[in-house]
Amino acid sequence: MLEDVHLKEIHIVKKQLSQKMFSLIIDIIQRRSPKLLNLPFFNGNESLTDIEREELREVLSDEFCEFGLKADSEPNDYGLLIEHSIDEIGHL
């Protein structure tokens, strides 16, 4: 019974991320650090620990630095999406 409640909670948390945002995070992780896809969170079993949350943010930050900035160091559209996903992970 408790497991059903917990799985429902994970579903709600993931639902709070838009499908676009969740897909973006998955895409970046697949390319940059596929081992993170083994986190229980992505299998619907647990929420993120502080350490896991930080690992995800680091991967997203690397992507942001490499592809998310215009020549004038302002975020491009992709960078804005990454920034938003970093913020959202902080709330998971």
Asked whether 42 and 5 are in contact (CB, 8 A), the reply is no
For residue 83, the model assigns a pLDDT of 95
CA 87-60-66 angle, to 5 degrees, is: 125
For residue 78, the model assigns a pLDDT of 96
For residue 52, the model assigns a pLDDT of 92
Ordered per-residue pLDDT tens for the chain, 92 residues: 334 434 444 444 455 567 788 889 999 999 999 999 998 888 776 678 899 999 999 999 999 999 999 999 999 999 999 999 999 887 76
For residue 7, the model assigns a pLDDT of 44
CA 43-44-50 angle, to 5 degrees, is: 90
